[in-house]
Amino acid sequence: MKFAATYNGTTLQPYGFADAVAMEALPQACLLAVSAVKPRSGKQHRLWWGFAALVAKAMNDGPHPYDTTPDDVDYWMRLGSGHCQPTRIPKSLAKNFGVEKAIRVKSIAFNKMGGDEFGRLLNKAFIFVRDEYCQWLPDSEHFTEIQNILQESQLVKPAKSKTKP
What residue spans define the domains of the chain?
Answer: 1-34, 42-152
Contacts of 153 (CB under 8 A, 6+ apart): 122, 123, 126
Class at the top of the CATH hierarchy for domain 42-152: mainly alpha
Question: Phi and psi of 142, rounded to 5°?
Answer: -90, -5
Q: For residue range 129-150, what is the model confidence (pLDDT) as tens digits?
A: 989 888 778 888 888 898 888 8
Give tens-digit pLDDT for 20-55.
888 888 888 888 888 776 666 778 888 899 999 999
The residue among 126, 115, 135, 121 whose CA lies nearest residue 40 is 115
| pTM score of the predicted model | 0.66
Q: What percent of the chain has pLDDT over 90?
A: 22
Spatial separation of the C-alpha atoms in residues 112 and 66, rounded to whole Å:
31
Please give the Cα distance from 115 to 5 (Å, whole number).
17
